[in-house]
Amino acid sequence: RGLSIADQQLVEIAKALSFDARILVMDEPTAALSGVEVERLFGVARSLCERGAAVLFISHRFDEVFDLCQRITVLRDGAWVSTDRTADLTVDEVVRRMVGREVSSLYPKQDAPLRDVLLEVRGLGRAGVFADVSFTVRGGEIVALAGLVGAGRSEVARAIFGVDRYDAGEVRVAGELLPAGSPRRAIAAGMALVPEDRRQQGLVMELSVERNATLARRRALSRLGLLLGGAERSEAQRWTRRLQVKASRLGAAVATLSGGNQQKVVLAKWLATEPRVLIIDEPTRGIDVGTKAEVHRLLSELANEGLAILMISSELPEVLGMADRILVMHEGRVVRELSRAEADETTVMFAATGQGVTA
């Protein structure tokens, strides 16, 4: 449990490979891996195939599917749609089959008017993890924290929200100074955090969709210490409808939902608190392309409504497609700030790998 999500994923893969299986099912194995780790995994998968093993690779990352697989089977809403040779398909065609309609844009980012600074981070540091992290996020703005796995992005987000303590610096929300290590005060000030691991950190998997969607509003929905069932149900319905959560019923266990719908429930839980600052870590990890577009559209709408959004993502197209500004981290420090106009994959990766960064 002490390992990062990426390291946990590598351990799971190693465990599966240790059985010397003839059939290996890999379900989103690269969701938390860096580019180098993905290449290493693909090398192992190819060597297994050469030795006669069969690999079933399940992924929403099209570049990886087209790189590794010889055939592609598309499922939609639990039903088989098609099976074709990879060489006979294009990404656009696979997307159309997956969502059942044309997807004009996966990144429907709208330009929103910039408002006052809502999140201000100054000189934030934690010994051995990150140092001298400073930036601001305005209302109406989406700022992305980019970098390689282990650069310290999630650790900075957790420190800002108060989950982890920091040794130096300060965090302000709308000018209010927040004490270190106090999520309660952060929430009261109008901050929300959607963590990178929704199953372990964002949801209580045994509880219902309704209960999870209102977890951050328990006190407001109670009277004399008793939770009002009608108020809880009404609040859950409001947000699950807005986010178009697909569930058989609100009383169903959240564990029965798809990854994309689980992510929507985490978002519903925090949006119900009506935050001014939203920190969202890996917003579309492990969810299908149609739901990705829905999440991106929601983020754009929230920015338009005046929220300040700090987005952490390991997917460069997502960073480039959704962010107004990009802060690139390398070994615990912000080494480059890029506007939407000047950012491209080469520039971001150049900074993320420490190229041109002086000690």
**Looking at 49, 64, 99, which one is the last position of a domain?**
99
Residues 89 and 224 reside in one and the same domain: no
Residue 47 has pLDDT above 90, yes or no: no
The answer as to whether 95 is a domain residue is yes
| 160/68 same-domain check | no
Contacts of residues 133-136 at CB distance under 8 Å and 24 or more positions apart, as own/partner, are 133/169, 133/329, 133/333, 133/334, 134/169, 134/334, 135/327, 135/334, 135/337
For the entire predicted model, the pTM comes to 0.77
Clarify whether residues 170 and 79 are in a common domain: no
On whether residue 358 sits in a domain, the answer given is no
Residue 130: how many CA atoms within 13 Å on its side-chain side? 31
Q: Give yes or no: residues 146 and 187 share one domain.
A: yes
Alpha carbons 214 and 238: distance in angstroms, whole number: 11
Alpha-carbon gap, residue 13 to 29, rounded angstroms: 7
Encoded tokens for 165: 């303590």
In angstroms, the Cα distances linking 14 to 11, 20, 21, 24 are 5, 10, 12, 12
325 lies in some domain:
yes
Is residue 100 predicted with pLDDT exceeding 80?
no
104 pLDDT more than 70: no
The whole-angstrom separation of Cα 123 and Cα 171 is 9
**For 186-190, 195-199, 333-337, which range has the lowest pLDDT when averaged over its residues?**
195-199
Per the domain annotation, does 79 fall within a domain? yes
Query: Which is nearest to 142 in space by CA: 339, 322, 349?
Result: 322
Looking at every residue in the chain, the average pLDDT score rounds to 89
Do 171 and 310 fall into the same domain?
Answer: yes
Query: In this structure, are 91 and 161 located in the same domain?
Result: no
Q: Is 112 a member of any domain?
A: no
User: Distance from CA of residue 95 to its chain's centroid?
Assistant: 20
Residues 129, 88, single domain; the answer is no
19 and 138 assigned to the same domain: no
Pairing relationship of beta strands 142-146 and 325-330 according to DSSP bridges:
parallel
Same domain for 61 and 129? no
189 is a domain residue: yes
For the segment 13-36, what is each residue's pLDDT rounded down to a tens digit? 778 778 877 888 888 888 777 777
Q: How does residue 109 score in pLDDT terms, banded at 50, 70 and 90?
A: confident
What are the structure tokens assigned to 172, written together? 């302000």
43: CATH: 3.40.50.300
Chain centroid, CA 240 distance in Å: 19
Torsional sign, CA 29, 35, 40, 46: positive
Say whether both 85 and 128 belong to one domain.
no
Contact 309, 332 (CB under 8 A): no
Q: Are 77 and 125 members of one domain?
A: no
Instruction: pLDDT band for 101, please (50, 70, 90 cuts).
Output: low
The average pLDDT across 100-119 equals 81
- Domain boundary (68, 99, 130) is at 99
* Tokens representing residue 166 in the block: 């920091």
CA 86, distance to chain mean position in Å, is 28
Whether residue 359 is predicted with pLDDT greater than 50 in this model: the reply is no
The answer to the question of residue 106 being in a domain is no
Predicted confidence band of residue 217 (pLDDT cuts 50, 70, 90): confident
Q: How many domains does the chain have?
A: 2
For the ranges 66-80, 110-124, 165-179, the lowest mean pLDDT is seen at 66-80
User: Do 148 and 35 belong together in one domain?
Assistant: no
pLDDT for 219 equals 78
Q: Identify the residue with better confidence: 339 or 220.
A: 339
At 293 the pLDDT is 86
**pLDDT higher for 228 or 146?**
146
Domain span at residue 20 reads 5-99
Query: Is position 107 within any domain?
Result: no
Helix (H) or strand (E) holding 232: helix 229-242
- Model confidence over 127-150: pLDDT tens digits? 999 999 999 999 999 999 999 888
First to last CA, the chain: 33
